Amino acid sequence: MRAHEIYPNGGPRIGVYVCHCGFNIAGKVNVREVVEFAKTLPFVVVAREYKFMCSDPGQEMIREDVREHRLDRVVVAACSPSLHEATFRRALEQAGQNPFFFQMVNIREHVSWVTEDPREATEKAKALVAAAVRRVIFHEPLQRRRVPVKDRVLVVGGGIAGIHAALTLADAGKHVYLVEREPTIGGHMAMFDKTFPTLDCAACILTPKMSQVAAHPNITLWTYSEVIQVEGFVGNFRVRVRRKPRYVIEELCVGCLQCIDACVYKDARFPDEFNLGLGKRKPIYIPFPQATPRVVLIDPETCIWFKTGKCKQTCLEACERAAIDFKQQERIEEIEVGAIILATGFKTFDARRIPEYGYGKYPNVYTALEVERLVNASGPTGGEVRLRDGRIPKRVGIIHCVGSRDERFNRYCSRVCCMYSLKLAHLIKERTGAEVYNFYIDMRTPGKGYEEFYDRLLQEGVHFIRGRVAEVTDWAITPDEEGKLIIRVEDTLVGAVRRIPVDMVVLAVGLEPQPDADEVRRMFNISCSKEGFFLERHPKLAPVSTFTDGIFLAGACQGPKDIPDSVAQAGAAAAEALALIDKGFVELEPNTAYIVEALCSGCKTCIGLCPYNAISFDEARMIAVINEALCKGCGTCVAACPSGAARQHLFEDAQIFQEIEGVLAYV
């Protein structure tokens, strides 16, 4: 069908607007030429250029033309529709037109930024404009769909970011499901003794928030639990959560810990996960004194009852509330939420991957996270910095950038290591009086009070040697190196290779994505950046959103971050989620599929193919019926329908073919 056939009375009136985007487009594309070309296209009434079409005056230009020239179709050639399609549709709406009489041409990302030759760029821009003009003729007025939004939010991950996001939402009166994989919330922050640069006690500022979570009427806290399935879309997610058995009934346990005393194992003898194996626990245990919820759990891998089926079960007798249940099974919970915040955190770099630093070979080489536990008052040594043989170190070396800024592993800077190394240097010196050496590439201390903290450490007499450490060895040359670990490093300020003998080496391991980040990404249908952290929608202007509407990011799952940044981002994610669900509805693109009833033969091909179960079969009329509220506009049924009965708004055959012809006719 040709345009004049459906427009016998003069046809549509089209306006074409070509944006310079400063030099972004005009630096490569001859905008004037594109405009002059557009004027020659059929039904184009007006064509103009402007420096920034998205600016207020740019939009006003469109609105005025719509009113003055009675435009009923608009084409804007500018940047990506993901940035400004909404802007221009709104301008049309304000001028009294249906916003879907609009087509956007991306001549920036698709043309000027990716084309070397100005001539070619201009020709390509013209072809794309010709295509859009032919397509927009066949646009139809459409209405956006409004879908109600579930009033609840899922927060995945109970570290400081997840805790802060959950509390913010709960305080605003929204119900929050907080799901944490470990038996307790608190995350990495719960393992720290002090926080930089203020040296606040980490537990003193974190544990009040943890108990607020436990007590909050608007928070459902599921620890020892994992999300296993996510379906639906913005405003209406259906989520399944697996709650692993703790073999202790959470509702009955009061955390008296008498069962732990009563365990048949008199001494704690199994490596304690929370203390990274530096301490020991029993098969029935609580991760740490302020664990939240304060509920014990049984580890079936070490419990003698689970391993042999023979045990006096003294824990069972000791529990006055009959909370222990050896037969407990995992439970699957199903919830519906309007928004999801991912705050799944990070893992630290595995120091064994750098064998020359001797981690796992020399007992007195520690990771920074292990030293966090050593300096912690509730840690395995009660806060005393002692080596594995019980000695107190006299000389300590802290090696920076372990696994960070290293082409072999991670090119990025982990952002927190310089500052936590300074903190640990201070704490070690304070607790032991040891000489502390920091081996750094560059000191990176941007942040409020951070540079001042670095200055303070310099004043305190901590040593700083600039150079990437070559190796940690027990190869002694001189008598004073005997029995020590020797750090070999090129001191790039002195210009010499140095050997620094120490008693203890601390590896400032970098931050990496969680090992299962990719599975989680798939489950939530979001993207990861190259290094494996979750990808934000825009690095500057949408830092907590993802490319999937309704799913937000907080904390180190999006990239290495310290506590202040994690909390700030968690607050932002909570606010975004709140803005979404508080509105009560979401507007969806009217790009749904529909059935032309007269053409449907009732073959049911589409029904099985629909990934959203949006198509049902009307037995009486023998035709397929699409539920528009469920249709996500994927187009699968449209492509599969053998009789051409399934069609899709905004992707009508006429529109697509005209667009193709537009490009080909020009070329």
Q: Does 473 bind other proteins (CB under 8 A)?
A: yes
Residue bearing tokens 């990437």:
468
Contact residues for 226 (Cβ-Cβ < 8 A; gap 6+): 179, 181, 241, 242, 244
Distance of closest approach, residue 367 Cβ to other proteins, in angstroms: 18
Give the CA angle between residues 643, 143, 649 to the nearest 5°.
25
Contact by Cβ (8 Å): 132, 105: yes
CB-neighbour burial class of residue 515 (10 A; exposed 0-12, middle 13-18, buried 19+): exposed
Is there a contact between 277 and 268 (Cβ–Cβ < 8 Å)?
no
Closest to other proteins by CB, 62 or 486:
486
Least CB distance from residue 475 to other proteins, whole Å? 5
Residues 6+ apart with CB under 8 A from 191: 274, 369, 372, 373, 376
Give me the least distance between CB of 244 and other proteins, in Å please.
Answer: 38
Q: Tell whether residue 355 is a contact of other proteins (CB under 8 A).
A: yes
Angle, helices 160-171 vs 563-582, to 10°: value is 40
93 binds other proteins (CB under 8 A): no
Tell me how far, at minimum, the Cβ of 403 lies from other proteins, in Å.
Answer: 14
Side chain identity, residue 528: C
Site string for other proteins, 300-339 (x = CB under 8 A): ----------------------------------------
Contact assessment for residue 667 and residue 127, using Cβ atoms and an 8 Å cutoff: yes
3-state secondary structure of 337: strand
- Using CB under 8 A, which residues numbered 160 to 219 contact other proteins? none
β-bridge mates for residue 532, sequence order: none
**For residue 662, which phi and psi values (nearest 5 degrees)?**
-60, -45
Write down the least CB distance from residue 357 to other proteins, Å: 9
Residues 6+ apart with CB under 8 A from 183: 223, 224, 246, 286, 287, 291, 295, 297
Rank residues 356 and 653 by Cβ distance to other proteins and give the closer one. Answer: 356
Q: Tell me: does residue 483 bind other proteins (CB under 8 A).
A: no
- Residue from 475, 494, 525, 616 touching other proteins (CB under 8 A): that is 475
Q: How many residues bind other proteins (CB under 8 A)?
A: 8
User: For residue 546, which amino acid is it?
Assistant: T
CA dihedral 244, 246, 251, 255 (to 10 degrees): -140
Task: Please report how close the Cβ of residue 476 comes to other proteins at its closest, in angstroms.
Answer: 9
- The CB-of-660 to other proteins minimum distance in angstroms stands at 41
In the three-class reduction of DSSP (H, G, I as helix; E, B as strand; rest coil), residue 189 is classed as helix
Name which of 477 and 639 has its Cβ closer to other proteins: 477
Q: What is the largest CA-CA distance in the chain?
A: 102
Name the segment binding other proteins (CB under 8 A); options: 188-196, 349-357, 409-417, 591-599.
Answer: 349-357
What does the alpha-carbon distance between residue 141 and residue 649 come to, in Å, rounded to a whole number? 10
Q: Are strands 236-243 and 270-271 parallel, antiparallel or unpaired?
A: unpaired
- Give the residue with the Cβ less far from other proteins, 96 or 495: 495
Q: Taking contact as CB under 8 A, which single stretch among the options 58-66, 219-227, 350-358, 657-665 is the one that binds other proteins? A: 350-358
Output the CA torsion 452→415→440→476 (10° steps): 120
Of 7, 10, 26, give the one whose Cα is nearest residue 18: 26
CB contact at 8 A, 287 and 183: yes
**Contact partners, residue 416, CB within 8 Å, separation at least 6:** 511, 560, 561, 562
State whether the Cα torsion 643-645-646-652 is positive or negative.
positive
Choices 441-449, 450-458, 473-481, 533-541; region in contact with other proteins by CB under 8 A: 473-481
Element (H, E) at 401: strand 395-402
Q: Which of these ranges, 40-48, 387-395, 474-482, 631-639, lies near other proteins under the rule CB under 8 A?
A: 474-482
Interface with other proteins includes 501 (CB under 8 A)? no
CA dihedral 410, 194, 450, 165 (to 10 degrees): 70
The nearer residue to other proteins, 474 or 652, going by C-beta atoms, is 474
Tell me the closest approach of the beta carbon of residue 503 to other proteins, in angstroms.
18
- Among positions 36, 356, 460, 516, the unique one binding other proteins when judged by CB under 8 A: 356
Does 7 help bind other proteins (rule: CB under 8 A)? no
Rg value, the chain, Cα: 32
Tell me the closest approach of the beta carbon of residue 513 to other proteins, in angstroms: 24
Stretch of 348-356, 424-432, 613-621, 651-659 lying at the interface with other proteins (CB under 8 A)? 348-356
Nearer to other proteins, 169 or 486 (CB): 486
CB of 488 to other proteins, least distance (A): 10
Q: Which is nearer to other proteins, 471 or 589 (CB)?
A: 471
Contacts of residue 15, Cβ cutoff 8 Å, sequence gap at least 6 = 44, 45, 46, 47, 48, 62, 65, 66, 69, 71, 73, 74, 75
Given the complex with other proteins, which of 355 and 433 has the nearer CB atom? 355
If the CB atoms of residues 336 and 474 are measured against other proteins, the closer one turns out to be 474
Q: How far is the CB of 509 from other proteins (least distance, A)?
A: 17
Indicate whether 477 belongs to the interface with other proteins (CB under 8 A): yes
Q: Which stretch binds other proteins (CB under 8 A): 74-82, 244-252, 469-477, 589-597?
A: 469-477
CA 305 to chain CA centroid, nearest Å: 40
Residue 151 lies near other proteins (rule: CB under 8 A) = no
Region near other proteins per CB under 8 A, out of 15-23, 329-337, 368-376, 466-474: 466-474
Cα angle, residue 25 at apex, residues 19 and 29 outer, rounded to 5°: 100
**Interface segment toward other proteins; rule CB under 8 A; list 129-137, 372-380, 467-475, 507-515:** 467-475
Q: At closest approach, how far in Å is the CB of 470 from other proteins? A: 9
**CA–CA gap between residue 108 and residue 287 (Å, rounded):** 54
332/477 with CB nearer other proteins:
477
Minimum distance of other proteins from residue 99's CB (angstroms): 55
* Nearest distance, CB of residue 356 and other proteins, angstroms: 4
Compose the 251-290 pattern: x for residues touching other proteins by CB under 8 A, - for all others: ----------------------------------------
Q: Which residues contact 614 (CB under 8 A, 6 or more apart)?
A: 626, 627, 628, 630, 631, 632
Residue 377 vs 477, nearer CB to other proteins: 477
Compute the Cα dihedral for 416, 461, 426, 436 and give only its sign. Answer: positive
Q: Is 471 in the site for other proteins (CB under 8 A)?
A: yes
Which of 406, 474, 549, 652 binds other proteins (CB under 8 A)? It is 474
- What is the contact surface with other proteins in residues (CB under 8 A)? 354-356, 471, 473-475, 477
